Amino acid sequence: MLIGLILAFILSLAGSTVWAKNSNDSDESTLPEQEGVYDVPGHPDMKVRVFVHRAKPAPPTPQPPVCYLPDPECTVTIGGAGWHLPAGDWSYTLNLNSVPKTVGSANLETMATDAFNRWSGATGATPKVTFSKTVTNTTVTKAVLDGKNIITWGRANGSALAITYIWSSKITGVVTEVDTIMNTKFTWSWSNPANWTSPATTCAVQNAYDAQGILTHELGHWLGLNDFYTTEYQNATMYGYGAKGEIKATTLSTGDINGIQAIYP
């Protein structure tokens, strides 16, 4: 009887650090790495949505190259996930020291600027949301609710290419903070859009994930778009799977743009 009580007590302590969906019994020191919506300990008015971007399952037969220009089109409107950024300028902070050598730390700012500009430009001729990089960079490599919106490479669960955390108000749906973690476990490359030709003569490294394409997808979550996994969305930036050697997610499809404009009319 005594042993059973002791074991139950130990198990209760072990479980206290795990974030539970829709539960306030969680420890803020450990964020979940599983897709879902979670309550935020100490912040009953907030929720955090976790997006896990995974690799596309291997096809049963060899597929033609996926990195070519002009981009294949997706005209199906991408749906929203239930939040939006406040209008105006939104600051973000980069961790340059975390960038893999195969991408180059000096290139992260260029990638982020280009990706943010694409999404911001999609919010209207006069952008309703703009983005600016903070002067000071960060050394943080994991998501934490600290008032900073970060982009970094870090350790994440094995199957996740990237994980994005969206903290927002349960009442208004307005976002208060966003963190994106790119997984250091995978091999990364960068195909600079400034060097693209049409038809393409070069593209992302075939055995690596293109950093800018995956980042552009994650930033779509920042603005309020959801993931979609069915074949009619496979040419959209917000298609839920990433693939090696793929650059088409770097540019926005008509469906991505229409989805953003529905959120920011």
Contacts of 13 (CB under 8 A, 6+ apart): none
Containing structural domain, residue 27: 22-54+61-263
Q: DSSP labels for 114-149?
A: HHHHHHHHTT-SS-SEEEEE-SS-----S---SS--
Cα–Cα distance, 261 to 257 (Å, whole number): 6
E strand spans, 8-69: 36-40, 43-55
The pLDDT tens digits of the residues spanning 186-197 come to 999 998 888 777
- Cis-peptide into 70, omega within 30 deg: yes
- Tell whether 164 is covered by a domain: yes
**CATH code at position 27:** 3.40.390.10
- Tell whether 5 is covered by a domain: no
Q: 102-106, 155-159, 216-220: which range is least confident on average?
A: 155-159
Cα–Cα distance, 245 to 205 (Å, whole number): 5
Number of domains in the chain: 1
Q: 6-20, 24-38, 62-76: which range is least confident on average?
A: 6-20
- Cis-peptide into 86, omega within 30 deg: no
- Tell whether 83 is covered by a domain: yes
pLDDT of amino acid 69: 62
pLDDT of amino acid 15: 33
Taking residues 38-52, report their average pLDDT: 96
- Tell whether 10 is covered by a domain: no
The pLDDT tens digits of the residues spanning 139-162 come to 999 999 999 999 999 998 888 999
Buried b (16+ CB within 10 A) or exposed e, 75-90: ebbbbbbebbbeeeeb
Reply yes or no on whether the pLDDT at 98 is more than 60.
yes
Reply yes or no on whether the pLDDT at 50 is more than 60.
yes
Q: 57-61, 231-235, 236-240: which range is least confident on average?
A: 57-61
pLDDT of amino acid 199: 61
Q: pLDDT band at 180, cuts 50/70/90?
A: very high
Reply yes or no on whether the pLDDT at 236 is more than 50.
yes
Query: What are phi and psi for residue 74, nearest 5 degrees?
Result: -130, 120
- Tell whether 17 is covered by a domain: no
Cα–Cα distance, 196 to 193 (Å, whole number): 5
- Tell whether 3 is covered by a domain: no
What is the separation, in whole angstroms, between the first and last Cα of the chain? 63
- Tell whether 2 is covered by a domain: no
The chain-wide mean pLDDT, for the chain, equals 85
pLDDT of amino acid 193: 85
CB of 204 closer than 8 Å to CB of 192: no
Name the DSSP class of 234: T
List the beta bridge partners of residue 2. none
